[in-house]
Amino acid sequence: MARPRSFDHDHVLHAAERQFRTTGYNGTSVDDISAATGLGRGSLYAAFDGKHGVLLQAMGRYSARLGMAMQALAGPDEGALERLRGFLLRAVDGVPLANDVPPAADRAAAACFAAKMALELGASDPEAERLANDCFSVVATAVAKCVQAAQRNGDIDPDADPDDLAYLLLTVVRGIDVVGASGHSPARLTSIAESAFALLPRPRHR
């Protein structure tokens, strides 16, 4: 009979995600992952098929966690506009790590995991690229539905394309990640978020 795993699969992936966020994929060694997760090299290769396997599974878990976080955008049509504002303002603090690992050491390490991997690996790693796009799609879909709710409530121009606005806001929050990672203050990041919110197209009075 096979021996049962003696480690918490999710915790290992969450800890590995934190390491990848901090030092990047190419800057992270298998030994770094072992130190971060407490799992030996042999166990890492047996359970995840090495560093790349850890990355792909960590990105998959991250996508699922994003989906749960995006549930904050769901709700009644009334209040949808304010939920969009909250979505933008939450970007000031970055994307939180999982609850079972220590918090990020700085704002750079709190940047979106999918965006960080997409920027580093790009099209050179089709599997990572696909998972990054899945993460972006999870966010954009939830934002688009919230935009539609705000449109039904008369708070956003009904002629605006919800998908276009969703990707605009997604681009803004990921841009906030980049600006925040480069050391700009929370006040500056908040100003960016509020300015983006103010630019949402409102209904035209006829």
CA distance 86 to 66: 15
Ramachandran region, residue 3 (left: φ > 0; alpha: ψ -120 to 50; beta: rest): beta
pLDDT in tens, 57-77: 999 999 999 999 999 999 999
Cα angle: 183, vertex 186, 187; to 5 degrees = 120
pLDDT of residue 44: 84
Residue 206 has pLDDT above 70, yes or no: no
Report helix, strand or coil for 159. Answer: coil
Cα distance between residue 146 and residue 149, in whole Å: 5
Summarised one tens digit per residue, pLDDT across range 150-191 is 999 999 999 999 999 999 999 999 999 999 999 999 999 999
Provide the residue type at 19 as one letter.
Q
Res 5: pLDDT: 54
Q: Which residue has the higher pLDDT, 194 or 2?
A: 194
Alpha-carbon span 101 to 33, nearest angstrom = 14
What percent of the chain is modeled with pLDDT above 70? 96
Residue-wise burial string across 26-35, b where 16 or more C-beta atoms lie within 10 A, e elsewhere: eebeeebbbe
63 neighbors 112 (Cβ within 8 angstroms): no
Q: What is the distance between the alpha carbons of residues 147 and 80, in angstroms, rounded to a whole number?
A: 7
User: Taking the alpha carbons of 136, 145, 80, 167 in that order, is the dihedral positive or negative?
Assistant: positive
Tell me, yes or no, if the pTM score tops 0.85.
yes
Enumerate the H helices of the chain as residue ranges.
Answer: 9-23, 30-37, 41-48, 51-69, 80-90, 113-121, 126-152, 162-181, 186-198
> Can you tell me the distance from the alpha carbon of 154 to that of 94, in angstroms, rounded to the nearest whole number?
30
- What are the tens digits of pLDDT across the range 6-42? 678 899 999 999 999 989 999 999 999 999 888 888 8
DSSP alpha helices (H): ranges in 94-161? Answer: 113-121, 126-152
